[in-house]
Chain A
Amino acid sequence: MEYSGLSIEELENLVEADKVHKRLYTDSDIFELEMDRVFAKAWIFVCHESQIPDPGDFCSSQLARESVIIVRHSDDTIKVLYNRCPHKGTQLTTAASGHVRAFRCMYHAWSFDTDGSLKARPLADAYEGSRLNTDNDDCNLKGIASVESYRGFVFARIHTEGPDLVTWLGEARTSIDNLVDRAPGGALEVVGPPLKYVNDCNWKMLVENVSDNLHALPTHRSASAPAKEMADSISNDDEIPTVLHMLTPFGSPLSFFEKIGQTICGNGHSFTGGEISIHSAYPENEDYNQAMLATHGEEAFKNILSVERHNTVIYPSLSLKCNLQCIRVFRPISVDETLLETWTFRLRGAPDEMLERSLLYNQAIFSPASIAGHDDNEAFCRMQQGLKGGGLEWVSLHRHMDAETHNSDGTISAPGTSDITYRHEYEAWLDYMRIDGE
């Protein structure tokens, strides 16, 4: 689908070094182009390998506009297949996950192996002499050509051309490393279905909010202020419930959020925090520390746990919280509608309390029935409504234009409330929006 109405020159005119035009959030033609380009050229997170441990295990996901099935084939490779029978277009499954020996279409009983190849179709003789004979690749389930995993995280890319996954992740892969290294048993396991929260806003607002260190204090005051008040009323620190430890730091002074910093990693990827974050002051779990020490030894243990990344963005579909073992996945639905999925991991070899802590956080912050998330959602909805109007045309990205520190690994760091991450994301965005050769 291409829109002749939007040339690359027009798109370039909507992205300036220090501001972007409001149409990027409100124009449905731009949204369709994003699905054709950004979400087709970038590696998109589709699932975690622990969801499909054995051959025949599958799960469903979304890749740009496409409903896809991720399945482990008999040779242990992972296939990503369009969820669409090549016969009449019927979706093969409506299940979120399951196990099959073969996919069998409910309408006319065409059946397919887990690599997508046609196994059988009733009264197959009738196709002889037609263009849809068995040699024709159109008989098979169509697959996504580019599928790669990094330490259990499965990504797929609709475009066949482009960098391999590790190259594309660049330094951002170190956040995946840190998340996995936090498992004393060396691996993560997805637990249960994700929390699914529909936000009436453009997908980029959700992605940008992940790096927004300016909003926590004013937006979440109604959660952080009562949490602090309740925590302050408890004289013995050891008796402060964990949920109060989690919500109180949202009310930290802006100087704290400035200090946590942020770092851009190329291709739109970034992380906030590094040495401190709003998760730094949680009480330690002694059993977990012992398990980590036993696995990694003193030095590596300290190195792994000293990484205090607040949020990481793998642009445009994924965000990680290393020290809370959870990820958020951004699934655009339409120009003003985005599904946020929050997945929780068990750290293999860690005590149950680590999982309980992660669940507690996700429920308090990312659930549709959460305590803090409603105020994020309110901000997104009001922005989406506000940007519909005329008058003001631009969205500001002006903070800390020149405060950049170039690091030896090629990343660039900036103060916590800088707009550097958004500027970096729009650089990547514009690159994706260019048609090859432009």
Chain B
Amino acid sequence: MENRSQPKKPSQLELIAELEQFLFYEARCIDEKRWDDWLSLYLEDAIYWVPTSRDQVDPLQQASLVYEGKTTLRLRAKRMEHPQAHSLDRRPESTHLISNIMLDEVIDEDGAVYHVSSSFMTLGYQEDLRNTQTVYGGKYFHQLVRTDKQLKIKQKKVVLNNCDAPHRNIQILL
């Protein structure tokens, strides 16, 4: 997709490297269970969305696997640290791999909004009592903005390849 406008600086390659590092950093916060660091990457009005169908356009017209604002994300993070989160007694482990990162579009409004797409494959261990490892795969669509020279997440949409399938627990953060 052709960029609507070119950022003036840093250069395109430096910018893409910066965006990549940001995606890797978010994944690392999740894999290392650094929930406060992870939450701090999201704007106060951010949206985290995992649709139930590949072509779902409206999260308010059909159920999603996840469609949450920052309050609910904060609640999620607090639950993960709660001593009585029984399903997390055996801590689930995740490993996120992110690849094929593309800067699809840059929209300049008040500040630049970067639309970044990528492919991911994530392993989740101990999602259930059977000690199995689950493979999740699909596409990420991040909308990132620069505030006070830091990148923040405005929206993260996770389209699982099997978003329409029956799932067992999805306890790890995608």
Contacts and interface: CB of A to CB of B under 8 A. Distances in A.
B171 interface: yes
B164 A369 contact: no
Contacts of B78: 226, 229-230
Contacts of B53: 192-193
Contact of A368 (B67, B68, B129, B170): B170
A362 B60 CA distance: 12
A310 B84 CA distance: 25
Contact of A375 (B56, B68, B87): B87
Interface in B56-83: 56, 59-69, 71-72, 74-76, 78-79, 82-83
A221 B76 contact: no
B106 to A, nearest CB: 31
A367 to B, nearest CB: 5
A381 B89 CA distance: 13
Interface residues of B, number: 42
Interface on chain B toward A: helix, strand, loop, or mixed SS? Answer: loop
Contacts of B166: 196-198, 339, 368
Contact of B86 (A227, A229, A344, A379): A379
A226 B75 contact: yes
A241 B45 CA distance: 13
Contacts of B83: 222
A287 interface: no
B85 A375 contact: yes
Given A196-B166, A352-B60, A241 B87 contact: no
Contact of B129 (A193, A359, A381): A381
A368 B167 contact: yes
Nearest to B65: A369
B147 interface: no
Contact of A223 (B68, B75, B169, B171): B75
Given A222-B82, A230-B71, A344 B66 contact: no
A364 interface: yes
A278 B170 CA distance: 26
Interface string A376-389: 01110110010000
B50 to A, nearest CB: 6
A227 B61 CA distance: 25
Contacts of A381: 128-129
Nearest to B171: A374
B165 interface: yes
Contacts, number: 128
Interface string A168-190: 00000000000000000000000
B82 A225 contact: yes
Contacts of B129: 200, 378, 381-382, 385
A359 B82 contact: no
A200 B130 contact: yes
Nearest to A221: B84
Interface string B33-64: 00000000000000000101100100111111
A241 B72 CA distance: 9
A63 interface: no
A194 B128 CA distance: 22
Interface string B132-174: 0000000000000000000000000000000011111111001
Interface string A294-314: 000000000000000000000
Interface in A246-303: 247
B128 A192 contact: no
B79 A192 contact: no
A42 B84 CA distance: 39
A375 B171 CA distance: 10
A253 B68 CA distance: 28
Contact of A371 (B79, B86, B130): B79
Interface string A210-252: 0000000011011101110110000000000101100100000
A200 B63 contact: no
B72 A226 contact: no
26 contacts: A191-B62, A193-B63, A193-B164, A196-B167, A199-B168, A200-B168, A221-B84, A223-B79, A225-B84, A226-B82, A229-B78, A359-B62, A359-B67, A362-B63, A363-B63, A364-B72, A367-B65, A367-B66, A369-B170, A369-B171, A374-B88, A375-B85, A375-B86, A375-B87, A378-B87, A382-B129
By Cβ-Cβ distance, the 7 closest A-B pairs, closest first, are: A192-B62, A226-B78, A368-B167, A222-B85, A196-B166, A222-B82, A378-B87
Interface of A: 191-200, 218-219, 221-223, 225-227, 229-230, 241, 243-244, 247, 339, 342, 344, 352, 355-356, 359, 362-364, 367-369, 371, 374-375, 377-379, 381-382, 385
Given A195-B65, A198-B168, A352-B60, 13 more contacts: A193-B52, A194-B63, A198-B167, A219-B86, A225-B82, A226-B79, A229-B78, A230-B71, A241-B72, A355-B60, A371-B72, A371-B76, A378-B89
